Chains A and B, each alone.
Chain A
Amino acid sequence: MSKGRFGIHGGQYIPETLMNAVIELEEAYNHFKDLPDFKEELEDLLKNYAGRPSLLYYAEKMTRDLGGAKIYLKREDLNHTGSHKINNVLGQALLARRMGKSRVIAETGAGQHGVATATAAALMGLKCEIYMGKEDTDRQALNVYRMELLGAKVHSVTSGTQTLKDAVNETMREWTARVEDTHYVLGSVMGPHPFPTIVRDFQSVIGREVKQQMLQKEGRLPDALIACVGGGSNAIGLFYDFIGDPGVRLIGCEAAGHGIDTDKNAATMATGTVGIFHGMKSYFCQDQYGQIAPVYSISAGLDYPGIGPEHAYLRDTGRAEYVPVTDNEAVEAFEYLSRVEGIIPAVESAHAIAYARKIAPAMCKDKILVVNLSGRGDKDVAAIARYRRVQIYE
């Protein structure tokens, strides 16, 4: 079996043109990740630029309102650029610079990863181009302009379903054309090895902080962790440090769109089968001939037909559980958290909030839930207004 396996999942299913690039990336990562000056540079940026550690906030009103488990929110939305994506991007941009690359490219769904990449590129003096599905450039127009302000060039991808999957296709195509001077800043724990490992390592700061903060505040580990999953980077970032703690339930919330019994969802674990796509073996929404299915979610960031290989493995082994959350549940949670806690969550993160609302009331008051608030919701306000048929423009 080849490198980068999580059980049967993972691997390096990519064109030969890219093989030396991923081998060089793996070597560079293994070389730099433990070098004191690389670690110091990254830690300094995370602290002084991104604003880490992010808060672990006790959502007292929400806890009281639901009347069950004690709920904490991990406030990744308070990071610079407004989501957890900056954790990975700062690490990869530093790596790209040390590898002598002058240019970075990235895919983005909701635009959070694109904004984070454009930000890091601006800071580090790297040229930056972002690929985003046409449907997403339409529904997240503000983020497109944000990336342009940061000096990035944004390509609107018109092939296929014109969403995140197609943005990944197009970024891979671009990488094969210019692999020598360009690093592909993959935004999630997916793609060919070593990306799922690199992204997980850079995101695992979330869970490490939660563990420390929880021990400080409560003197014990939480009972369950809840995070939304598209590719799965914020979820693996939260889960990773707790995988060896069997008392902690790990729950990933995937986008069920209009419902898993309809053909409009992106719930890979609930409706997918094992396949090989975007460089990895994992679960994918696909037909009997291996054609990747067009998926749907109100959330551009979760609108992806696959899931990272480490999640597939955590599911196979039963260590983590994955649950579907519909558009409607997510929108209600979006509004709920805004109203009850004064925090507007990203619609992606609202999927996790929705599931917390479902299970917290039935749990004892001495149980503790941690929900990853992976991003802030400013970018989604217009889309939620549309969903509610509220006219906010003249």
Chain B
Amino acid sequence: MSRVQQAFANGKAFIPFITAGDPKLEITEQLVIKMAEEGADLIELGIPFSDPVAEGVVIQRADERALAGGTTTDKIFGMVQRIRKVCSVPMAFMTYVNPVFTYGAGLFMKNCRETGIDAIIVPDLPFEEKEEVMPYCSEFGIDLISLIAPTSRDRIRMIAREAQGFVYCVSSMGVTGVRKEITTDVGEMIRLVKEVRDIPCAVGFGIFSPEQAARMAGLSDGVIVGSAIVKIVEQYGEGCVPHVAEYVRTMKKAVS
């Protein structure tokens, strides 16, 4: 069983997202270890990008802070290597296609493999363009996570058929960021996936409260939360670790 599959092996998964290097890599390192202790089943690490077009303002600001602090892809690989010495939680990178392409997709996946990254999520790399990185993902055993959106409709089956690891269900239109209500029929999206593949489905975009998380967990195999956590990091800065830990504990309980 791959590490990504393990994340979904013990009931509903809670998947937190943080931006690597926000406010600095030492804190990110502590956050990953602490969130794993508090029950995070898979951790998404954002590689900051200058122009994150799929992100709302909260994660945009996190990317700006991380880049202003001198965070680079190589330094993030170094941090992952340090984390892997003490922590075996499944980890996925979330970033845009340009940082991967420009780094060299082959070298990027090789470094993922060597440092211990299990999967990669690239929101601006749709099904039609996945050959840009897929051969390298296959070569180095990195899962390329597919996203489905409320507008995907007839595309869901096509995407699900070739999906790896888990399917990332985008709960709402627009960019990342908390929403009071999620109006999309997430259950129907997931039903279409499961029709063609027995693969875990995790819901993300807009989720922040334990009640929402519990409801989404009822419809899916896991819940992804990003902006709500990044907001806590923004609020408490270098002192954010205990606050994030408490939030993760609450959310993990809510989805279980």
- A contact set with B: CB distance below 8 Å: 1-3, 11-21, 159-160, 165-166, 169, 172-173, 176-180, 273, 275-279, 284, 286, 288-292
When A and B form their complex, what is the total count of cross-chain residue pairs whose Cβ atoms lie within 8 Å?
A: 120
- A276 and B155: CB pair below 8 A? no
The answer to whether residues A276 and B97 also contact, given A13-B126, A20-B155, A179-B173 and a CB cut-off of 8 A, is yes
- A17 and B99: CB pair below 8 A? no
B73, B98, B148, B150: most-surrounded residue (chain A CB, <10 A): B98
The SS class assigned to the A binding surface is mixed
Who on chain B is nearest to A11 by CB? B129
B53 an interface residue at 8 Å Cβ cutoff?
yes
- A165 and B147: CB pair below 8 A? no
- B132 and A276: CB pair below 8 A? yes
A2, A176, A180: most-surrounded residue (chain B CB, <10 A): A176
Bound complex: CA A308 to CA B18 (Å): 33
The answer to whether residues A12 and B126 also contact, given A176-B54, A276-B132, A290-B100 and a CB cut-off of 8 A, is yes
- CB-defined contacts of A3 to chain B, threshold 8 Å: 128
- B contact set with A: CB distance below 8 Å: 49-51, 53-54, 56-57, 60, 67, 72-74, 96-103, 123-129, 131-132, 147-155, 159, 170, 173-175
- A17 and B150: CB pair below 8 A? yes
The residue from A12, A17, A21, A292 contacting B129, defined by CB atoms under 8 A apart:
A12
A and B contact pairs by CB, cutoff 8 A, 25 listed: A12-B128, A15-B54, A15-B126, A15-B147, A16-B155, A16-B170, A17-B149, A17-B173, A17-B174, A19-B149, A20-B152, A160-B50, A160-B51, A165-B51, A173-B175, A273-B102, A277-B51, A286-B102, A288-B102, A289-B74, A289-B103, A290-B49, A290-B98, A290-B101, A291-B67
Least distance between B67 CB and chain A CB atoms (Å): 7
- B126 and A291: CB pair below 8 A? no
Bound complex: CA A11 to CA B132 (Å): 11
The residue from B98, B148, B175 contacting A177, defined by CB atoms under 8 A apart:
B175
Bound complex: CA A177 to CA B151 (Å): 11
- B153 and A20: CB pair below 8 A? yes
The answer to whether residues A289 and B72 also contact, given A13-B126, A20-B153, A277-B98 and a CB cut-off of 8 A, is yes
Bound complex: CA A292 to CA B67 (Å): 12
- B102 and A172: CB pair below 8 A? no
- CB-defined contacts of B49 to chain A, threshold 8 Å: 290-291
- CB-defined contacts of B56 to chain A, threshold 8 Å: 173
- B102 and A289: CB pair below 8 A? yes
Bound complex: CA A166 to CA B60 (Å): 12
Bound complex: CA A16 to CA B124 (Å): 7
Bound complex: CA A159 to CA B154 (Å): 34
Other 19 A-B pairs with CB < 8 A, given A15-B123, A15-B126:
A1-B131, A2-B128, A2-B131, A15-B147, A15-B149, A19-B128, A19-B151, A19-B152, A19-B155, A20-B152, A160-B51, A173-B53, A173-B54, A176-B175, A275-B102, A276-B101, A286-B102, A289-B74, A289-B102
Bound complex: CA A226 to CA B53 (Å): 33
Least distance between A26 CB and chain B CB atoms (Å): 12
Bound complex: CA A237 to CA B99 (Å): 32
Least distance between A173 CB and chain B CB atoms (Å): 5
Bound complex: CA A279 to CA B96 (Å): 11
The answer to whether residues A176 and B51 also contact, given A16-B148, A17-B149, A20-B152 and a CB cut-off of 8 A, is no
- CB-defined contacts of B103 to chain A, threshold 8 Å: 289-290
Bound complex: CA A300 to CA B125 (Å): 29
- B50 and A13: CB pair below 8 A? no
Least distance between B58 CB and chain A CB atoms (Å): 12
- CB-defined contacts of A276 to chain B, threshold 8 Å: 97-98, 101, 124, 132
Least distance between A276 CB and chain B CB atoms (Å): 5
- CB-defined contacts of B170 to chain A, threshold 8 Å: 16-17
- B60 and A289: CB pair below 8 A? no
